[in-house]
Structure 1
Amino acid sequence: MRLSLLKPVIDRPGPWASVYANIPQSTEDAAKQQELTASATTAQLFALGADEATCGAVHEALLTWRGGESGAHAGRALFAAHGAVVLDTPLPGPPAFPFAAWGPVPRVTPLLAAIGDDPVCLVVRLDRAGADFAVLGQRGTEDAGQVSGADRPLHRTSSGDPSERHFQTKVENTWEHNAAEIADAVREAFEKSGAEAVLLVGEARERHSVHDKLPEPLRALTYESEHGGRAPGAESALVDRDIAHVRAVQEREHVAQVADRFRTGAGPGNKSAPHAAAGIPALVEAAREHRIDTLLVSPHGADIARHIWVGSDADQLAVRGTELTSLGEEHPVAARADDALVRSAAATGADVVVVRDPERAPSGGLGAILRGTEKPAPE
């Protein structure tokens, strides 16, 4: 999961107002409903102890936001501290449980659960002459350049004349040359973009030819769409469906691989040198020592809402407040374990994976793969 979205809230001191709101967009009384949502949310925050300046900033943000979504309702998450909204981001849909919270660390776990693993897909719209690249993820689409091959000859003729057959051979050679150039450009764009999958869009022959010329590891991560093409106007809603399918497959496979690595590392065969940690005490110790490589979080679990003690820095965590006091933190405060561990993981460059399947999730809802664990090579 890409945690760059959380960067604005990770290192800033709290306390934090965290809001997950359902903003009506296209109903007749949308403006009135938006005003009611803003007023009710800020009243709730004030009752929880939020300062007047932060409540005012949240109220203004909720009242004036225009997301432009086409649906009837737009989900939205925002985080504010010390009189300023620090992060304001749309959700893929309405929040499952709209709420407002006030606490020492931002309530970011519901945001991560909403956006999921957010795999990035490199979309390649190609034809015989070249290809256009776009990088697509949950946060939007970015142009990733293009490649052009030889522009002649590209079209075969139907004549049986020997000279025409020679011309057709040159056409075939041009196609093969262009396919090789496109495949090489796909490899470069894939490596540069950090994508986790590729989707080829275009005519069947061109797609297959490029697919066959990709290096084997990349070929295994490359899919093809039978819909749409490179020409203007060839885009189709079916292509969007295919992109969503590819991203869903990648997310499912990545979560399964991480869950399997955790289960293997947490097994009895690794007691002497554990590669995984489970349980609040072990996770807190690993986070404090910057040893978490990947944090696993389940939306449901007995440990996620347990309170641990935190300080002003992201790596100041403890099971008991006296531990932090002895380490020099004068004002330790209690916070939810899931949000405190996510904040610590993001601050130290770790990854976070949301595991929704209860059969794959760690016991208690929280677990970690520790640094030093070798990651398996792609199959």
Structure 2
Amino acid sequence: MGATSDEEWRRAMRLAFLESLYAEPGPYVSVYLNTSRDGDHPERAIALRWRRLRESLARQGADAALLNRLEAVVGADAEVPGAHGQAVFAAHGALVLDGELPSPPEHDSARYGTLPDAMPLVTQHVPEIPYLAAVVHYGGLPTAGAHGSVTLEAEAGTWPVSTVAPGERLRRRVAVATWHRASALLGHRLDAWARRVHADAFVVGGNEWACNVLIRRLPRTVRDRVVRVGGPTPTDTGRALLEPQLDRVFRGHLAAHDRELVDLFVRRRAVGGPVAEGLASTVAALQRGQVAALLLNRPPGSSPRLWVGSLPTQIARTEAELLSFGVRAPREEPADEALVRALVGTGAELVVVPEGDLRLSEQVGALLRYGDGGRPRA
């Protein structure tokens, strides 16, 4: 698809953070909880929410030891300010995954089941847009002989997850009189940084004069990706640099890589190339490990349901189909849970694409690694 080997590897690892979820057989506890600290008495509110979820899990059959293990980590993200959530997974008495959600879940939930309920966590990670952000402040007058200083703070991230997990931050302060020369040197460093993280955009906010000086001195490779933003630019919030502006810039957009996948799907579909569309065709391709990227208009939820076996590729629309493959004791699971396990187990990607950009039959389709008459690529 024209990507470099480094880029292909990086993208193949997008769902790798979920591999630990499937290292052991279930049953699993999956908890989604609003752990925001932006209201009154947040710790009390979180404790009440967790108490309701704990009672629900006990009714579903989760044992007290496992619930006590969860209680030790639920709400333990007090260092994360503002609105956010927490996703916690456990199995066999051990914590398997504890992840921060950039937004609170639509509703708190707790499930005890054979497969982890991972789709809400995955969809909070997309569209995974890599970016570089910078804020430039100055004090003094923008003249050669002025007193004062210019301060630049820059941070790389992947939106939206980096809103609650900001990365390493660069901070430089120079005299106003030397800003023209210093910005040229900083520009080369920022350009290298943007290329290293494969940034789709370089979002810049702050003082207009100081920003203009910096942007004019950026190498063209990063200057062409600059997005200027206005509004307040605090730098000590404990959240991502330029968080409100990032939301306005990126919400509703696909990452550049995902856009390439969608465009490739459209081109292939037009000529009868290696794609699948509709749930039945997509599930059949997952059975063969044929899916390079799953495309969804929206997650299918718990209805319809799919039948699964012990392996990620043992997935089907009906119990009879799995039995015909020799799968012992297949079980019916929510479609969301079965699809995520198949994607992680086969190293496939996930793209959530708005229907306005691409309307898919039954809201699901797939780019295939090879056609029905071909062979898997090495």
Single out whichever of 354-363 and 99-108 deviates more from structure 2: 354-363
Instruction: Deviation per CA, 1:162-208: give whole Å up to 9, x if none.
Output: xxxxxxxxx8xx93x65543333222111222332212345545544
Distance 1:354 1:304, change over 3 A: farther
Say whether the 8 Å CA contact 2:129–2:255 is kept in structure 1.
no
Say whether the 8 Å CA contact 2:233–2:242 is kept in structure 1.
no
Instruction: Deviation per CA, 1:107-156: give whole Å up to 9, x if none.
Output: 111223334313232123468999653113423222255789xx89x73x
Q: Distance in 1 between matches of 2:242 and 2:151?
A: 19
Say whether the 8 Å CA contact 1:277–1:368 is kept in structure 2.
yes
Q: What's 1:9 paired with?
A: 21
Distance 1:339 1:216, change over 3 A: farther
Distance 1:182 1:108, change over 3 A: same
Q: What's 1:143 paired with?
A: 168
Q: Equivalences for 1:172-187 in 2 at 5 Å?
A: 175=180, 178-187=182-191
User: Which residue of 67, 72, 81 corresponds with 2:78?
Assistant: 67
Distance 1:4 1:133, change over 3 A: farther
CA-CA distance at 1:335 after TM superposition: 1.9
Distance 1:329 1:194, change over 3 A: farther
CA-CA distance at 1:342 after TM superposition: 2.1
Q: Distance in 1 between matches of 2:239 and 2:230?
A: 10
Q: Distance in 1 between matches of 2:279 and 2:333?
A: 13
Instruction: Deviation per CA, 1:225-257: give whole Å up to 9, x if none.
Output: 456889x99x99994433333333754777666
Q: Distance in 2 between matches of 1:115 and 1:325?
A: 35
Q: How does the TM-score come out when normalised to structure 2?
A: 0.72
Q: Are 1:111 and 2:121 matched, yes or no?
A: yes
Q: Are 1:310 and 2:308 matched, yes or no?
A: yes
Q: What's 1:245 paired with?
A: 248
SS in 2 for 1:142: coil
SS in 2 for 1:284: helix
Distance 1:315 1:253, change over 3 A: same
Q: Distance in 1 between matches of 2:47 and 2:232?
A: 42
Q: Equivalences for 1:150-169 in 2 at 5 Å?
A: 155=177
Q: Distance in 2 between matches of 1:349 and 1:300?
A: 19
Distance 1:333 1:244, change over 3 A: same
CA-CA distance at 1:36 after TM superposition: 4.2
Q: Distance in 2 between matches of 1:38 and 1:147?
A: 43
Q: Distance in 1 between matches of 2:292 and 2:220?
A: 28
Q: What's 1:262 paired with?
A: 265
Distance 1:122 1:37, change over 3 A: same
Q: What's 1:18 paired with?
A: 30
Distance 1:318 1:349, change over 3 A: same
Say whether the 8 Å CA contact 1:203–1:229 is kept in structure 2.
no
Instruction: Deviation per CA, 1:327-371: give whole Å up to 9, x if none.
Output: 564343222223222222233333212235467452322222223
Q: Give the RMSD, CA atoms, in angstroms.
A: 4.2
Q: Distance in 1 between matches of 2:100 and 2:135?
A: 28
Identical positions, percent: 25
SS in 2 for 1:17: strand
Distance 1:221 1:371, change over 3 A: farther
User: Which residue of 337, 349, 352 corresponds with 1:351?
Assistant: 349
* Structure 1 unpaired stretches of 5+: 156-170, 374-379
Say whether the 8 Å CA contact 2:36–2:104 is kept in structure 1.
no
Distance 1:194 1:350, change over 3 A: farther
SS in 1 for 2:168: strand
Instruction: Deviation per CA, 1:270-296: give whole Å up to 9, x if none.
Output: 1xx33x212223212322333322222
Q: Distance in 1 between matches of 2:16 and 2:338?
A: 17
Q: Are 1:337 and 2:335 matched, yes or no?
A: yes
The letter of the residue matching 1:18 is S
Q: What's 1:41 paired with?
A: 53
Q: Distance in 2 between matches of 1:325 and 1:39?
A: 41
Distance 1:355 1:304, change over 3 A: farther
* Structure 2 unpaired stretches of 5+: 1-10, 139-148, 372-378
Aligned residues: 343
User: Which residue of 76, 81, 92 corresponds with 2:91?
Assistant: 81
The letter of the residue matching 1:318 is A
CA-CA distance at 1:322 after TM superposition: 4.8
Q: What's 1:123 paired with?
A: 133
Q: Distance in 1 between matches of 2:246 and 2:42?
A: 35
Q: How does the TM-score come out when normalised to structure 1?
A: 0.72
Q: Equivalences for 1:292-303 in 2 at 5 Å?
A: 292-299=291-298, 301=300
Q: Distance in 1 between matches of 2:31 and 2:197?
A: 32
Q: What's 1:219 paired with?
A: 223
